[in-house]
Amino acid sequence: MALFDFLKKKKIEESIDESIPAFKDKGQDHQEDVEAISGEGIDDIDLVKGFGTIQVGSFNTFYRSYINKSFENERMRILGYRQMAATSEIADVIEDAVNETTQEDDEGKLLTLEITDNKLSKNKNMSKNIFDEFNNLFYNNIDIIDHIWDMVRTYFIDGRVYYERIINSNNPKEGIIGIKKLPSETMDYLYEAKTGKITQYFQYLTPRTKKPLTIEEAEADKSIIVFNPEQIGFINYGIYGRTRHEILGFLEKARIPYNQLKLLETSVIIYRIVRSPERFVFRIDTGNMPKDKALKFVEKIKSKFSKKQSYDPSTGRLTHEPEILSLLENFFLPQSADGRGSTIETVGGDAKGFTELDDIYYFARKLFRSIKYPMSRVVAGQENRQADIMFGGSQTSEIQRDEVKWSKFLERQQKRFCKEFNDLFLLHLEFRGLKKEYELNKNSFNVHMNSPSHYKEQMEQNFLESRFNNYTTLSGNSEFSKVYLMKKYLRWNDDEIEENVKLKQKDKDLGFDEEGGY
């Protein structure tokens, strides 16, 4: 980086203020219309039966037991999701989901812009300015390629992702100059019960024992950063619990299968390791010793030879810690004088238990289904069969149904990000002054992400082949009009048919024969 650019960037960063007034009242178009058509909704406070009838004391109890607890529950929910995402099965699913959601096209682009406003699209100068601003924002200022993978991964794990929209407070007309992802577990917000609109975002800098009820209370607390609503980009999974503070993420449905699988794997390992090893049986000659002395003598011998090994489920390792379940114990038995002489025998183990894992496979498949992962991608050995081909079976035209469902699911998640990026771009244009100049709104353009799969193109190709085969079969029959067949099976309109006739004539003029050669 050149020295001038470095100093300029450093100066901009120093001018950034977390509570930037330039964000205030930005992006508020149509808010009055939204409030006019919104339903009543449910506020947090309405969930407490009988509140408002037993005075202030009940509110303090409600505040301690519900409002503060609600944020703590969300924080623990996020940490629980992260613990689940650390397991190999779920980690692989999330990596596949993120990779497919953030695919680049042949030109290395992640996002594309479509101008939907007819007036805007017909004006070449205005369209060029909009496209230039789009590319400058996402590929220069934000560098979306560096940020998007981490943002989407956080979204799939936490069920939400927050980021700060950064501007130069000394010169807001530069627009959005960058974004900064914020830790989900530190973020909170206030919202209107009637509209569901978030009115303020908070970031807690220290562990919270008390949640602010008002913006004024938050601003007075130095351990809380208060953000204007348009200053924060917020994307969540869109499924809520009792209130809009309770966000149920992508991994929520996997909680029960995950816990079942984890518990079963631990119990199976302990049980089968206990049963599988071969043990020694030591028969110690105690001569004519009394019973109590014989037992003490055996314990003395045992202490010399015994070495316990235990299984620690938290690490998956064998350990010698006595407090963990003992696995490999030898047997020391006193032998009376009648037996005469010490002997060593073996008690055979049962190692075949490790080949009988159908119960593990059942819960593993249940876990994958809970997070919508295509079963055709799951290890084939679980079901003792060959792996399904992802696209195509015995015929190339076949597409696995679960692959289509998975792709459609990822497309829905992409739409959430595209909606957020649409709003971000409109806000950037507002700072730049182009929103007012060009009379833009959120319906003037759409931001798109690349399709996570090529199944649509493959299906369209299959349909095209079928239509072409039908046309070819019927076009040799004199009872049918070729123009009619072109419209019905090739789905050409009159202009395309006429264009085809003209180009066929041009082929003849250039010397091409009917088969395309000279």
Mean pLDDT by 10 residues, the chain (518 residues): 45 51 67 44 38 43 56 89 93 94 89 92 93 95 93 96 93 93 92 85 84 85 91 94 89 93 84 68 75 81 65 64 48 60 56 67 90 80 45 49 87 95 96 94 93 68 78 82 84 87 83 61
Let me know if 57 is exposed, middle or buried by CB neighbors in 10 A (0-12, 13-18, 19+). Answer: exposed
The backbone torsions φ and ψ at residue 344, rounded to the nearest 5 degrees and listed phi first, read: -125, 125
pLDDT score for 352: 57
Residues in the chain: 518
- Residue 307 in domain: yes
- Residue 197 in domain: yes
Residue type, 113: L
* Same domain? 415 vs 397: no
- Residue 199 in domain: yes
Locate 341 and state its tokens: 């002489």
pLDDT score for 330: 59
In Å, how far from its chain's centre is CA 29? Answer: 31
pLDDT score for 378: 80
**Which of 348, 368, 386 is a domain's end point?**
348
Instruction: Calculate ∠ Cα 305-306-309, nearest 5°.
Output: 140
What number of other Cβ atoms are within 10 A of residue 277's Cβ? 15
pLDDT score for 278: 66
**Which of 323, 348, 373 is a domain's end point?**
348
Locate 211 and state its tokens: 């949640």
Instruction: Calculate ∠ Cα 202-208-210, nearest 5°.
Output: 90
Name residue 319's beta-bridge partners: 310
Closest CA to 98 of 452, 426, 351, 340: 452
At a CB cut-off of 8 Å and minimum separation 6, what does 88 contact? none
Q: Report CA-CA distances (Å) from 445 to 132, 354, 452, 453.
A: 14, 58, 21, 24
At a CB cut-off of 8 Å and minimum separation 6, what does 7 contact? none
Q: Model's pTM, two decimal places?
A: 0.71
pLDDT score for 159: 95
- Residue 1 in domain: no
* Same domain? 53 vs 154: yes
DSSP state of 141: I
* Structure-token match 């043990």, residue found: 279
With beta carbons less than 8 A apart as the criterion, state whether 161 and 420 touch: no
* Same domain? 465 vs 440: no
- CA torsion sign, 144 to 147 to 150 to 151? negative
Closest CA to 444 of 124, 116, 126: 116
Q: How far apart are CA 49 and CA 105, in angstroms?
A: 54
Closest CA to 372 of 213, 184, 237: 237
pLDDT score for 402: 81
* Same domain? 85 vs 191: yes
pLDDT score for 346: 58
pLDDT score for 125: 94
- Residue 397 in domain: yes
- How many domains, the chain? 4
pLDDT score for 422: 96
- Residue 29 in domain: yes
- Residue 196 in domain: yes
Instruction: Calculate ∠ Cα 57-60-61, nearest 5°.
Output: 90
CA torsion angle 69 74 80 81 (round to 10): 170
Q: Report CA-CA distances (Å) from 162 to 179, 185, 235, 285, 491.
A: 10, 10, 7, 73, 46
DSSP state of 365: H
The region, left, alpha or beta by phi > 0 then psi within -120 to 50, assigned to residue 419 is alpha
* Same domain? 128 vs 202: yes
Range of the domain at 148: 18-251+410-449
Q: How far apart are CA 235 and CA 162, in angstroms?
A: 7
What number of other Cβ atoms are within 10 A of residue 254's Cβ? 26
Q: Report CA-CA distances (Å) from 317 to 262, 269, 288, 320, 360.
A: 16, 11, 43, 10, 20
* Same domain? 33 vs 86: yes
* Same domain? 89 vs 235: yes
- Residue 445 in domain: yes
* Same domain? 127 vs 152: yes
With beta carbons less than 8 A apart as the criterion, state whether 187 and 140 touch: no
* Same domain? 317 vs 219: no
* Same domain? 295 vs 441: no
At a CB cut-off of 8 Å and minimum separation 6, what does 87 contact? 258, 262
* Same domain? 329 vs 220: no
At a CB cut-off of 8 Å and minimum separation 6, what does 120 contact? 126, 127, 130, 438, 440, 444, 445
* Same domain? 378 vs 502: no
**Which of 367, 383, 402 is a domain's end point?**
402
